[in-house]
Amino acid sequence: MDLKLSSLLCFTLLLSSTIFIPALSELCNPQDKKVLLEIKAALNNPYILISWNPDVDCCTTWNNVECDPTTNRITSLTVFGDNRLTGQIPAQVGDLPYLETLVLRKLPNLTGPIQPSIAKLKHLKWLRLSWNGLSGSVPGFLSQLKNLTFLELNFNNLTGSIPSSLSQLPNLASLRLDRNKLTGHIPSSFGQFVGVVPDLYLSHNQLTGKIPTSLGKMDFNRIDLSRNQLEGDASFLFGLNKTTEILDLSRNILEFDLSKVEFTKSLISLDLNHNMLTGSIPDELTQVKLQFFNVSYNRLCGQIPVGGKLQSFDNTSYFHNQCLCGTPLPSCK
């Protein structure tokens, strides 16, 4: 084909596709489009949603949304990082019935409660509402969303206690409620997750009381309970047959004898600083390939065992104990 003819053909194709195809190829479900435009209006038409032009196809042209490739229903709504977006989570999010992913993150002026209409989103797998200004409680209705896999409500102003029913979520892989103002006890039901054992992040809250011993039955891969007011024993979280990699209990008022704890070799990071631990550091810890270790500000005594990684940490991992000694602290008398 000669160049002229082919470029003419190209031009014609381009022209016809711009003029005729869009109306025919509007993939967006009209009801979903209507709901999305209501959401945009409810959020005061934020600049971040400027691509949501009613005259073009939401599936192929809009940012922040994704459609299912066969049904063309909206499956994902993601808005991230904009402090000019102000308001509350619009009730209309509950009217996107095929939503699997709802991400509203790093929107500091997104305030108000976790919208109750989210209860209608039965297909939801990812609910990430972190780093906003949300307030109110962690709603119990979340436990009805059986496909929820990632539930992240961290870095908000949530208050009240943790609903024990969250343990009923069979597909939960990660539960992040850290950095809120949650009070009350850790539910004992968190020792009976019905499905996989999720990574559990409850740090930086105002949780009180004892850690339920039922949690000892779970094999958490990552568990962070730091910076609460948890008291009493936590030795049951350890054990030779766990596969825990990251365990952070720092800055609580926990009180147990570290000498009696058995450490799994899977541990990579262990933070116990600022508690009331007694006893000494067991020799077995030299067998664990720790990358992070901190037992400072406790009531430990005796010689720091020599070997493994234990001398690779600086003295701040050990300082402010009752009578710990030996490298990297001053030698024992």
Q: Which chain residues interact with ligand NAG by CB under 6 A? A: 83-84, 86, 108-109, 122-123, 133, 147, 157, 239, 241, 273-274, 294, 296-297, 313-317, 319, 329-330
State the minimum distance, in angstroms, from the CB of residue 175 to ligand NAG: 18
Measure CA 173 to chain center: 9
Which position's Cβ is nearest ligand NAG?
A: 133
CB closer to ligand NAG, 52 vs 131:
131
d(CA 157, CA 113): 10
State the minimum distance, in angstroms, from the CB of residue 291 to ligand NAG: 11
- Residue position matching structure tokens 């024990």: 164
CB 259 within 8 A of CB 279: yes
d(CA 2, CA 23): 32
State the minimum distance, in angstroms, from the CB of residue 99 to ligand NAG: 10
CB closer to ligand NAG, 56 vs 173:
173
State the minimum distance, in angstroms, from the CB of residue 229 to ligand NAG: 16
d(CA 228, CA 232): 13
CB 66 within 8 A of CB 5: no
Of the candidates 130, 63, 129, 66, which has an alpha carbon nearest to the alpha carbon of residue 98?
66
Element (DSSP H or E) covering residue 303 = strand 301-303
State the minimum distance, in angstroms, from the CB of residue 24 to ligand NAG: 30
Beta strands in 6-144 (DSSP E): 65-67, 74-80, 87-88, 101-105, 110-112, 126-128, 133-136
Of the candidates 137, 142, 94, which has an alpha carbon nearest to the alpha carbon of residue 118?
94
CB 148 within 8 A of CB 176: no
State the minimum distance, in angstroms, from the CB of residue 297 to ligand NAG: 6
- Both tokens assigned to 50: 């400027």
CB closer to ligand NAG, 33 vs 227:
227
CB closer to ligand NAG, 72 vs 294:
294
* Kind of pairing between the strands at 150-152 and 126-128: parallel
Q: Which backbone phi and psi does 301 adopt, to 5 degrees?
A: -135, 170
Sequence length of the chain is: 333
State the minimum distance, in angstroms, from the CB of residue 107 to ligand NAG: 9
CB closer to ligand NAG, 62 vs 202:
202
CB closer to ligand NAG, 56 vs 276:
276
CB closer to ligand NAG, 133 vs 232:
133
State the minimum distance, in angstroms, from the CB of residue 26 to ligand NAG: 26
CB closer to ligand NAG, 33 vs 274:
274
Burial class (CB in 10 A: 0-12, 13-18, 19+), 211: buried
